[in-house]
């Protein structure tokens, strides 16, 4: 996608996250990080969860969310 194609109404896009790609259901300029609440421009969207259908602004945010959601997979030392 390029910036001209994905600006839509300038608001938040509705996305279906897949393995290695995503599909825009409702056009918009950004999605919101599920952990930080920060806006992520669609051109900058690199991290998401297919299972949780959420976007993340960084690998650290993704890890934090998965540690919260699946604590059994991340035992404390």
The position carrying tokens 């001209």 is 4
Residue 77: predicted pLDDT? 72
Where the chain has pLDDT below 70, the residues are 1-8
Residue 2: predicted pLDDT? 42
Residue 9: predicted pLDDT? 74
pLDDT tens per residue across span 14-35: 999 999 999 999 999 999 999 9
3 state SS of 33? strand
Instruction: Assess contact for 48 and 54: CB atoms under 8 A.
Output: yes
The range of the structural domain enclosing residue 48 comes to 3-73
Structurally, how many domains does the chain consist of?
1
């Amino acid at each position: 996608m390029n910036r001209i194609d994905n600006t839509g109404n300038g608001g938040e896009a509705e996305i279906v996250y897949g393995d290695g790609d995503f599909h825009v259901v409702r056009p918009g300029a950004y999605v919101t990080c599920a952990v930080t609440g920060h806006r992520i421009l669609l051109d900058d969207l690199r991290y998401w969860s297919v299972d949780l259908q959420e976007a993340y602004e960084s690998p650290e945010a993704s890890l934090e969310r998965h540690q919260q959601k699946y604590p059994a997979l991340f035992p404390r030392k």
